[in-house]
């Protein structure tokens, strides 16, 4: 497919991105990772590529309280962008399905291989050193404490963590078990281990053991 189609999709998508934890570099990383997983899993590269570039277009609207579900709203916005860019009509609905299904919070199930790839690429960007940086960036924006030993992590993640460290326990450490593809599971192992090491070190410093 003509590269200019994706350039236009990318440019339009970037107009919607406003937060450091969901900025254009998040989208670029998800895009790169999604292409890598898609190649190994035999997914349609055009569908995955467009979906990765557009998956968070409504994220800022959700963060700002303007919409309830950025995945549903994002699919609506994406549809217009895909048409404007001249993306093949017969593939548009498959891209929208990926965007609708990528959200973690709802525990959405991804039916198509393309949707499963996008979910995995997005989740992998929340794992590891960059994932940790994004947790604290978001926590700062929400003015949450980095840690509070008096607030234990919740047994079940309900979409809102009270501290950044709790968010790592409640969401980030569970990502490894939420992945769809073997390719992503393989990539997740080392990243997961690093998050565990980070927490261990963080808590030792907190207790002044180091």
Select 148 or 160, whichever has its Cβ closest to Fe ion.
160
Closer of 16 and 87 to Fe ion (Cβ): 16
Cβ proximity to Fe ion: between 122 and 170 the closer is 122
Phi, psi at residue 26, to the nearest 5°?
-60, -45
Region from 8-16, 35-43, 49-57, 158-166 binding Fe ion, contact rule CB under 5 A? 49-57
In 3D space, the residue among 140, 198, 141, 188 whose CA is nearest the CA of residue 168 turns out to be 198
Residue 30 CB, shortest distance to Fe ion, in Å, is 6
In the window 52-71, what residues touch Fe ion (CB under 5 A)? Answer: 56
* Segment near Fe ion (CB under 5 A); pick from 2-10, 38-46, 50-58, 85-93: 50-58
- As a whole number of angstroms, the distance between CA 129 and CA 65 comes to 28
Q: How far is the CB of 22 from Fe ion (least distance, A)?
A: 6
The answer to whether 125 and 30 have CB atoms below 8 angstroms apart is yes
φ, ψ of residue 174 in degrees (nearest 5): -95, -10
CB of 118 to Fe ion, least distance (A): 9
Considering only residues 74-113, where is the footprint of Fe ion by CB under 5 A?
Answer: none
Site size for Fe ion (CB under 5 A): 2
The number of residues making up the chain comes to 210
**122 interacts with Fe ion by CB under 5 A:** yes
Nearer Cβ to Fe ion (59/94): 59
- 145: tokens are 């404490």
29 or 91, CB closer to Fe ion?
Answer: 29
CB 27 within 8 A of CB 17: yes
CB of 19 to Fe ion, least distance (A): 11
Angle 186-192-198 from CA coordinates, rounded to 5°: 155
Stretch that binds Fe ion, among 46-54, 83-91, 120-128, 172-180 (CB under 5 A): 120-128
What does the radius of gyration of the chain's CA atoms come to, in whole angstroms?
A: 17
Q: Distance between CA atoms of 189 and 2, rounded to whole angstroms?
A: 36
Stretch in the footprint of Fe ion (CB under 5 A) among 114-122, 129-137, 147-155, 171-179:
114-122
Q: Judge whether 131 and 195 are in contact, CB under 8 Å.
A: yes
Binding site for Fe ion (CB under 5 A): 56, 122
């Amino acid at each position: 497919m003509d590269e200019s189609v994706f350039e236009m999709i990318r440019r339009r998508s970037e107009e919607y991105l406003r937060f450091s934890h969901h900025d254009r570099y998040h989208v670029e990383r998800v895009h790169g990772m999604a292409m890598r997983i898609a190649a190994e899993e035999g997914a349609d590269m055009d569908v995955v590529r467009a979906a990765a570039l557009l998956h968070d277009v409504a994220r800022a609207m959700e963060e700002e309280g303007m919409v309830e579900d950025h995945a549903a709203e994002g699919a609506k916005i994406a549809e217009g962008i895909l048409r404007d860019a001249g993306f093949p009509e017969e593939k548009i609905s498959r891209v929208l399905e990926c965007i609708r299904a990528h959200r973690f919070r709802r525990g959405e199930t991804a039916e198509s291989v393309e949707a499963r790839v996008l979910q995995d690429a997005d989740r992998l960007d929340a794992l590891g050193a960059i994932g940790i940086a994004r947790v604290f960036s978001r926590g700062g924006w929400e003015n949450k404490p980095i840690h509070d030993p008096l607030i234990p992590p919740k047994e079940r993640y309900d979409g809102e963590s009270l501290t950044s460290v709790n968010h790592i326990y409640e969401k980030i450490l569970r990502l490894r078990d939420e992945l769809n593809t073997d390719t992503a599971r393989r990539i997740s192992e080392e990243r997961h281990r690093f998050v565990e090491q980070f927490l261990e070190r963080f808590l030792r410093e907190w207790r002044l053991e180091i």
